[in-house]
Amino acid sequence: MCQPEKRRLFLTCYAMKKCVFLDRDGVLNEEIGTYVYNPDDLIIPEGMPEALRKLKVAGYLLVVVTNQAGIAMGKYTRDHVWACHEKIQAACGNLLDALYFCPYHPDHDTASLARKPDSLMIEKAIARFGIARDQSWMVGDRQRDIEAGRKQHIRGVFINIHEPTPETATYVARNLLDAADYILSSEGGGRRSEL
Ligand SMILES: [Mg+2]
């Protein structure tokens, strides 16, 4: 194997990857003020597919990390979460690399370090994909999203819908497309790949 091929193999296998971690409700689908578990109630906001496409072309992994305590409350099941995820994937052309969700709630079944503002879902993805924290971002519409990222030293972009902006957020965005544009402008676009 020649040197360029060895280098390409090394980069493919061992290079740390950059990632945008995404909260779900209020980021990938519209916040409707109640639990979203029926795909028919899941509304894709304008600009979401374009935002994800821009980030993917720039070389980012796209990983969803979402609290789904409605499962602990008995409101819906894991199958509902997967059905909603399939609808989101269909809307964006299967650009999402992984979905992590936390079904637990301390008042209904058990506490969990996976539940945001704790960061176990993010830690699992970092270990699985070899993610570089210092090249990655967390995008969310709740303070607990930004806090979960901060615990892993990952910068946060806060989508400002209904909560005061956390002091630790790097940027406050109007929506996911605004968040994506900020991430890309702050890093000069990063590595490019073809879709
Ligand atoms: Mg949310």
pLDDT computed for residue 4 by the predictor = 73
Ordered mean pLDDT values, 10 residues apiece, the chain (195 residues): 69 80 98 95 97 98 98 98 98 98 97 98 98 97 97 96 88 97 79 41
Please indicate, yes or no, if residue 175 is contained in any of the structural domains. yes
Residue 176 burial by Cβ neighbours in a 10 Å radius (0-12, 13-18, 19+):
buried
Distance CA 74, CA 8 (A): 49
- Ligand 1 center–CA 57 separation, angstroms: 24
- Ligand 1 center–CA 146 separation, angstroms: 11
pLDDT computed for residue 8 by the predictor = 64
Which has the closest alpha carbon to 187: 48, 21, 11, 20?
20
pLDDT computed for residue 187 by the predictor = 80
Please indicate, yes or no, if residue 50 is contained in any of the structural domains. yes
Chain mean position to CA 141? 11
142-153 residues labelled b (16+ CB within 10 A) or e (exposed): bbbbbbbbbbbe
- Ligand 1 center–CA 112 separation, angstroms: 18
pLDDT computed for residue 64 by the predictor = 98
Please indicate, yes or no, if residue 9 is contained in any of the structural domains. no
pLDDT computed for residue 145 by the predictor = 98
Contact between residue 50 and residue 177 where contact means Cβ atoms under 8 Å apart: yes
Contact between residue 97 and residue 124 where contact means Cβ atoms under 8 Å apart: no
Please indicate, yes or no, if residue 71 is contained in any of the structural domains. yes
Options 23, 97, 109, 178, the catalytic residue: 23
Please indicate, yes or no, if residue 5 is contained in any of the structural domains. no
pLDDT computed for residue 13 by the predictor = 58
| DSSP structure class, residue 29 | B
Please indicate, yes or no, if residue 4 is contained in any of the structural domains. no
Options 25, 79, 178, 181, the catalytic residue: 25
Q: Which two tokens stand for residue 114?
A: 């996976």
Helix (H, G, I), strand (E, B) or coil at 103: coil
Chain mean position to CA 24? 7
- Ligand 1 center–CA 189 separation, angstroms: 26
Helix (H, G, I), strand (E, B) or coil at 19: strand
Please indicate, yes or no, if residue 173 is contained in any of the structural domains. yes
* Domain tally, the chain: 1
Q: Is 25 among the catalytic positions?
A: yes
Q: Is 97 among the catalytic positions?
A: no
- Ligand 1 center–CA 174 separation, angstroms: 14
Please indicate, yes or no, if residue 10 is contained in any of the structural domains. no
- Ligand 1 center–CA 129 separation, angstroms: 23
The enclosing domain of 122 has a CATH number of 3.40.50.1000
Alpha helix ranges (H) inside the chain: 3-14, 48-57, 78-92, 120-129, 143-151, 176-187
pLDDT computed for residue 14 by the predictor = 65
pLDDT computed for residue 191 by the predictor = 43
- The domain of 142 spans 17-187
